[in-house]
Structure 1
Amino acid sequence: MPACSRDGAGHFALTLDGKLLYLNQIMMTTMPKFKTLFLVPLLALLAACGGGGGGGSSTPTTPDVTLKSIVVTPANFTVAVGGTQTLTATGTYSDGKVAAITSGVTWTLKTGTAAEVFSNGSVRGKLIGNDTVTATVGSVAGSTSFTIKPPYSSLVAGGNQTLAVKADGSTVAWGANNWGQLGDGSLADRNTPVQVKNPQALPWKVVSTGEFHTLAIRENGTLWAWGLNQNGQLGTNNTSNRADPVQVGSATDWVFISAGKGHSLAINKGGVLFGWGRNNNGQLGDNTTIDRLVPTKIGTFTNWRTVSAGATHTVGIRADNSLYTWGGNASGQLGNGGTTDVLLPTKVGTASWLSASAGGAHTLAIQTGGSLWAWGANGAGQLGNDSSTNASAPVQVGSDDNWFMAVAGNTHSVGIRTNNTLWAWGSNVEGQLGDGTLNDVGGPRQIGTDNNWYAVAAGLQHSFGLRLDGTLWGWGLNKQGQLGNGSNNSALIPTQLP
C-alpha cells in the first residue's frame, strides 16, 4: 500500500514498494498501475497528502519538481575504529530548493571492508583504512570518501609503564607509577588503564614516556610533563617531581617530543631542536655535560624532522633525511665507527633515512628504501644480525627492504613489516619478544601469524602493539601492571588489553 510523505524541501511524495515517488512522477509514469488498483483510493491518498480536492485545507504543490543532485556531508571525514559518524544527504531540486533528505535514502559503501553503514546514514569504523559512502534516491546519488583512523593516536612504552592517547584526545596510562609517571595525581601502580589528569580540559595530541618521566603535547601546541625530575627532565626549571601534568614554559608551537632515561628532547614548528635534563654523556647535544632544567636550543639547524632519546644517547633525522647522533657511545650506539662520547649532533654516513629509534645502548633505523639497520650493544642479539658482538657502525638486519616500523627497547627490538606482520629479536628474559619462550633471539623472528599489526612500542622489558582492528596487545614483564590487563602476571605471547 502506498504511503504519503514530505521531503525536507516540502515536496509531497508517495512511497511505493520502498521507492520514493514525487507526485508528478506518479501522474506521468505509474498511473496505469494505480488505475488497476482503483483510482478512487489514489485520489483519497492524494487528498490526505494535501494534493487532492475536497474538504478542509490543502497545500498547493509545485508541478514537475524533481531531485537533481545529492551532497553528502561531512565531506572527506575521519572516523576512529569503533567510532560512529552520522551523515546528512542534502538534495537540490529543479525548483531551486535545497534541503536535507529525511526519507527514501539508500546508503551504501564502495568496499565495506573497513567500515559499515546503517540505514539512518551513520557510518561505523571497523578497521584502519579508507572507503567511500554513497547516498542514493532513485537514480540520483551523491558520495564522499572517508578515512578510518586508529582509536589511539599515540602508543608508547617506557621503563615499566605504558601510555596511549585516544582518538578523542584523552590519555590513559597504566603500569609503574612510583614517581608519578602515569600522571593521575597518585604514586600508585595501576594494572588497568587510568585517565591522565587534564588540567585545562584540552585534548592531548602526542605522548612520550622515558624510564620514569613522561612528556605530552596538547592540540594547542603546549608542552606538558610529569614524573621524576631528578635531573630537570621535566623542564620546569627545578628538580621537583610531579604526579600530575605541569606545563613546560609558555610556547605553543611544539610538534614532536621524545623522553629518554633521564633526558628530554622536543622539536618546535620551526624545526628547531631543544633538549633538557640529564647530560652527563652529552646526550642533549649542546656541547656540554651540564644538566639543563629548561628546554635549551640545540645547534642552529631549523629542519629537524624527528628525534629519539635513548638511555644515554640521542638520534635525530633532519628534513633532508640525513641522520645525526650524539651522547653516550660506549657500545658504539652512535654508529660513527668509534666508542667515544660525542657532545654535538654528528652526521652518520650519507644514506637517506626514514625513521630511527634509540634504545638502552643500541639504535635501529630504517632507510627510505625500507631496509633496516642497527648498531650499538648486541649482547642479547638486539641488533638482529645473528651475533652477540657490538657494532659501532650500521649493519643491515637481514636483506629485506619491507620494514615499516622498528623500535628499540632496553635490550630487545620489535618491528613491523609492510605486510603488517610482527617481528621481534634480542633479550627475552621476561617474554618481551612474545614468541612464547624466554629464550633470546639473535635475528628477527615472526611473532604469531597475524598480518594486521599497525604500530608497536618497546619498553624496558615489555612490548605493546596496535592492530588494524583497533585492539591493543601487550606482552612481557607485568609485575607493575605495565600490560594493563588487570593482573600482574607476565605474558609470553601478545595478550589483548580488555
Structure 2
Amino acid sequence: MKKTFSLSSLVLVPILAVLAACGGGGSKDSSTTPITPTPPTVTLTEIIVTPANPSITVGGSQQMIATGKYSDSKVAVLSTGVTWTAAKGNNALLKVFTNGLVTGAAVGSDTITATASGVSGSTTVTVRLPWVDVAAGGNQSFGRKADGTLFGWGSNLLGQLGDTTASDRLAPTPVAGGVTTWRQIAVGVQHTVALRADGSLWAWGRNSNGQLGDGTKINRATPVRIGTATDWTYVAAGEAHTLAIGGKTGLLWAWGRNSSGQLGDGTTVDRLVPTKIILPAPAAGGTAISAGWTTVAAGANHSLGLLSGSLYTWGNNLRGQLGNASTVDSPTPIPIGTANWVAVTGGALHSAGIRSDGALFTWGDNSNGQIGNNGAQPVLAPFQQASTTLNWLGVAAGANHMLALRADGTLWAWGANGDGQLGDGLGQDLGAPTQIGLSTNWVGIAAGLNHSFGRQTDNSLWGWGRNAEGQQGNGNTTYVAQPTQMP
C-alpha cells in the first residue's frame, strides 16, 4: 500500500520544537532568585582612653578604660583584645597592668596608650606625691595625704602629735586611730585640732586652759571628739586657744585661754567648751551679729576673722596686732576698715591679711622686720606690701617671721631668721619681702614658731628652719637653712 505524506506536517514539527526551546507556548515558571547584597565590614575607627589626664599619687592606682568607636557609629567599652603601654616603659613612672590598671611608681607624667586592631588612643597620667596639705605650729608639723590619713612629727611632749605617746618623732608618724577621713587641721603651740569629712571636730595635746574643748583640763595623747555636731567647717589654733566656724550660717565658736579677750566673748574667763561668739549690737543701734563668718585665724593671744568679707580682730593688742591704731586689748571683735579681705593670719604679736584685690598687708610687732617695711617700730594699722603688687595668693605667720606666695608660684619670706626659718641660707633677719629660690611651683605654705614648710605642685613637702625637736621630719635634729624636700 502506497503511503502519502503531508508537507504541512513536516514543516510544523520543527517549528514547534523551536518554539518549545524558546519557552514559547510553555507554562513553566520563568522567575529568578534575588541576590542579597553583602553588608559592609564594621571596623574600629577610634579609641578614647578615660579618665582623661588623671592624677594619682605614688603608690596610688587608677583603672583606665578604653572605649571604641566603630565605623557604624556604635560605641562600646573594649574589654578584650586591648594592649596597654606606657611611653616611658613599664615601672618607670607607671606600673601598667594588662587590664588597664595603672599604679604610680615615681613622680612625673607619662602617656598611657590603649591599642586594639591597629587603632590606638592615649592620655597623660600625672604621678604626684601623696601630701595634699601641711600645717605647722609650735615645734611640730602635720601632713595630710590624699587618702585622708594624717601624720605628725616633731615635738610631742604633751601628746600633741596624737600618736598615743609623749615621744618626739623625727619622721612622719600616723595619728592614732587609722582614720582616713581627715579634712582640715590646725596646730597651736602644743595642741592640735582637726576636722573629719563627716563634719566632726577632734582635738588632742595640751589642755591646761581648756583649749581642746572637751570640758576638762586633761592633756590628751590621742584624738578626742569635741561635742556631737557634724557641721564644723573650719578651725584655727592659737598658743592656747581655739576658734572654729560651724553651721550652715557660719557661726563662730571659741574656747581655751582668754586672758586677753582672745575668745571674743566679752570676758577674760577661760572656756572649757566651745562658746558661741556674738557681736554686740552697735551703740548707735542695730542688732547683734552671730552668723556670716567665713574664716578665722589665731595668733598667740589674739584672733582675726572675716565676717562676710569684712575684717574683725580681738584679743591681745600689746604691739598693735589688732590693727585698729591702738595698743588696747579688745575682748570682742572689732571691725578694721571697710575693705573686703580673702585671707588672714596671726603670729606671736603681728598679723597679716590679703585683700580681695590681691594686695598684702601686715601690722603689729616689727622687732624682727616682720612687717616688711624695712623698719623696726610696731605698725598699728595695716601696711601694704609692695603697693604695686596685687598678686599675693597666700600668707602664713610664724612667731616672728612671714611667708607668702604669689600667683606666679614664687615663694617670699621676711622677718626673724635666727633658725633659718626664712630659707635664704643666710640666717639674718630680713626687713622686706624677699624671694626664696627661683622655683615657681609653690602651692602651699605653713609657719611654726621658728620653722617653715611649703608644698609644691607635685605634692612634695619642703621644710626649713628649726629642727631641734624633729619638726622637719627628715630623721634628724639638724636645722635646715634652705627649703629641703622631706623624704
TM-score band, normalised by shorter chain:
0.7 to 0.9
Residue number in structure 1 paired with 2:205: 227
Deviations 1:9-61 (A, max 9, x none): xxxxxxxxxxxxxxxxxxxxxxxxxxxxxxxxxxxxxxxxxxxxxxxxxxxxx
Change (3 A) 1:150 1:418: farther
Instruction: Tell me the CA shift for residue 263 of structure 1.
Output: 0.4
Residue number in structure 2 paired with 1:406: 395
Residue number in structure 2 paired with 1:380: 368
Q: Does residue 314 of structure 1 match 2:303?
A: yes
Give the count of matched residue pairs: 429
1:417 to 406, 418, 422: 406
Structure 1 spans left out of the alignment, 5+ residues: 1-61, 110-114
1:297 to 272, 276, 287: 276
Instruction: Tell me the CA shift for residue 260 of structure 1.
Output: 0.8
- 1:407 is paired with a residue whose SS is strand
Amino acid at match of 1:373: F
Change (3 A) 1:100 1:442: same
Deviations 1:242-268 (A, max 9, x none): 001111111111121111100001112
Instruction: Judge conservation of contact 1:87–1:123 (CA < 8 Å) in 2.
Output: no
Residue number in structure 2 paired with 1:426: 415
Matches within 5 A, 1:186-225: 186-198=165-177, 201-225=179-203
Deviates more, 1:485-494 or 1:76-85: 76-85
Deviates more, 1:250-259 or 1:90-99: 90-99
Instruction: Judge conservation of contact 1:81–1:128 (CA < 8 Å) in 2.
Output: no
Partners in 2 of 1:119 and 1:247 — Cα distance?
42
Residue number in structure 2 paired with 1:112: none
Instruction: Tell me the CA shift for residue 142 of structure 1.
Output: 7.3
Instruction: Judge conservation of contact 2:84–2:112 (CA < 8 Å) in 1.
Output: no
Instruction: Judge conservation of contact 1:456–1:465 (CA < 8 Å) in 2.
Output: yes
Partners in 1 of 2:123 and 2:309 — Cα distance?
35
Residue number in structure 2 paired with 1:57: none
Matches within 5 A, 1:436-475: 436-475=425-464
Partners in 1 of 2:312 and 2:81 — Cα distance?
60
- 1:351 is paired with a residue whose SS is coil
Partners in 2 of 1:75 and 1:301 — Cα distance?
45
Structure 2 spans left out of the alignment, 5+ residues: 1-38, 88-92, 279-288
- 1:314 is paired with a residue whose SS is strand
Instruction: Judge conservation of contact 2:134–2:445 (CA < 8 Å) in 1.
Output: yes
Residue number in structure 2 paired with 1:349: 337
Instruction: Judge conservation of contact 2:128–2:458 (CA < 8 Å) in 1.
Output: no
Instruction: Tell me the CA shift for residue 100 of structure 1.
Output: 2.9
Change (3 A) 1:140 1:265: farther
Instruction: Tell me the CA shift for residue 438 of structure 1.
Output: 2.2
Deviations 1:217-252 (A, max 9, x none): 111111110000011110101111000111111111
Partners in 1 of 2:229 and 2:119 — Cα distance?
51
Q: Does residue 241 of structure 1 match 2:219?
A: yes
Partners in 2 of 1:133 and 1:491 — Cα distance?
39
Residue number in structure 2 paired with 1:390: 378
Partners in 1 of 2:262 and 2:436 — Cα distance?
33
Instruction: Judge conservation of contact 2:65–2:77 (CA < 8 Å) in 1.
Output: no
Partners in 1 of 2:118 and 2:310 — Cα distance?
55
Instruction: Judge conservation of contact 1:84–1:125 (CA < 8 Å) in 2.
Output: no
Q: Does residue 90 of structure 1 match 2:67?
A: yes
- 2:374 is paired with a residue whose SS is coil
Deviates more, 1:293-302 or 1:185-194: 293-302
- 2:363 is paired with a residue whose SS is strand
Residue number in structure 2 paired with 1:287: 266
Instruction: Tell me the CA shift for residue 118 of structure 1.
Output: 5.8
Residue number in structure 2 paired with 1:358: 346
Matches within 5 A, 1:3-402: 64-67=41-44, 72-74=49-51, 79-80=56-57, 83-91=60-68, 94=72, 98-104=76-82, 121=100, 122=102, 124=104, 151-198=130-177, 201-270=179-248, 271-299=250-278, 300-318=289-307, 320-399=308-387, 400-402=389-391
Deviations 1:390-440 (A, max 9, x none): 011000122322212111000111112222122111111111111112211
Instruction: Tell me the CA shift for residue 125 of structure 1.
Output: 9.5
Superposition TM-score, scaled by structure 2 size: 0.80
Instruction: Tell me the CA shift for residue 338 of structure 1.
Output: 1.1
Greater than 4 Å deviation, 4+ residue runs? 68-78, 92-97, 104-109, 115-121, 123-129, 131-150
Instruction: Tell me the CA shift for residue 289 of structure 1.
Output: 1.3
Partners in 2 of 1:128 and 1:401 — Cα distance?
32
Amino acid at match of 1:483: Q
- 1:428 is paired with a residue whose SS is coil
Instruction: Judge conservation of contact 1:81–1:469 (CA < 8 Å) in 2.
Output: no
Change (3 A) 1:486 1:73: same
Deviations 1:173-199 (A, max 9, x none): 110000100000000011111111126
Amino acid at match of 2:151: V
Identity %: 47
Amino acid at match of 2:481: L
Greater Rg, structure 1 or structure 2?
2
Instruction: Judge conservation of contact 1:79–1:125 (CA < 8 Å) in 2.
Output: no
Residue number in structure 1 paired with 2:14: none
Change (3 A) 1:141 1:304: farther
Partners in 1 of 2:65 and 2:236 — Cα distance?
41
Amino acid at match of 1:87: M
Partners in 1 of 2:211 and 2:154 — Cα distance?
20
Change (3 A) 1:214 1:116: same
Change (3 A) 1:185 1:68: same
Residue number in structure 2 paired with 1:496: 485
CA RMSD of aligned residues (A): 3.0
Partners in 1 of 2:365 and 2:439 — Cα distance?
30
Instruction: Judge conservation of contact 1:229–1:241 (CA < 8 Å) in 2.
Output: yes
Instruction: Judge conservation of contact 2:366–2:375 (CA < 8 Å) in 1.
Output: yes
